[in-house]
Amino acid sequence: MALRQIREQGDEILRKKSRDVNIDDITAAKNQNLIDDMLETMYHYNGVGLAAVQVGILKQIIVIDVEDGKGPYVLINPQILKTKGEKECEEGCLSFPNKFGKVIRPTEVIVEFYDREGNKVKLKAKDLLAQAVCHEVDHLNGVVFTDLVLPGSLEYVSPKD
């Protein structure tokens, strides 16, 4: 496993749409190594989620850990099938260090994806997990959280020394 460099605000790759992973290639070593590296990178930077595009790879792979005892979640080729409700959430992003803002996200989503073993999975995600799924799926489509921030709510928090 290795730490990957996180692409930050202004990097044009963050605006590109990620490509589907070929189902036959999900368990290939290169994809498994990428997943392991993404998990290590996410944990190292204290993130809740990370999309492959954030480490410069245009593949539909995301990792999420909301510390619910069920994670980490690995979602390959995720498709949000249904959303329910909405709430205002405080959000940040590893690609936008020290920036935070309020966005509107669904309170619940149903997402279908392949796990890292290539199994098709359908997951009902609520609250923080639903928020993280939406945030990371947005990344796969070239959408960043600052695109969705409610006017006047974007803040820059000075890093602690």
pLDDT at 157: 87
CATH architecture of the region 12-156: Alpha-Beta Complex (3.90)
Given 8, 108, 136, 155, which residue is catalytic? 136
pLDDT at 158: 83
pLDDT at 64: 98
Residue 153 has pLDDT above 60, yes or no: yes
| 116 phi and psi angles, rounded to 5 deg | -70, -15
Report residue 71 CA to chain centroid gap: 14
Q: If you ran DSSP here, which 8-state letter would residue 130 be given?
A: H
Is the distance from CB of 65 to CB of 94 less than 8 angstroms?
no
Say how far apart CA 102 and CA 72 lie, in whole Å. 25
136 has catalytic annotation: yes
pLDDT at 161: 54
- Mean pLDDT value across residues 142-161: 90
pLDDT tens digits, 125-140: 999 999 999 999 999 9
Q: What is the pTM of this model?
A: 0.94
Helix (H, G, I), strand (E, B) or coil at 49: strand
Residue spans per domain, the chain: 12-156
Confidence of residue 83 (pLDDT cuts 50, 70, 90): very high
Say how far apart CA 154 and CA 85 lie, in whole Å. 23
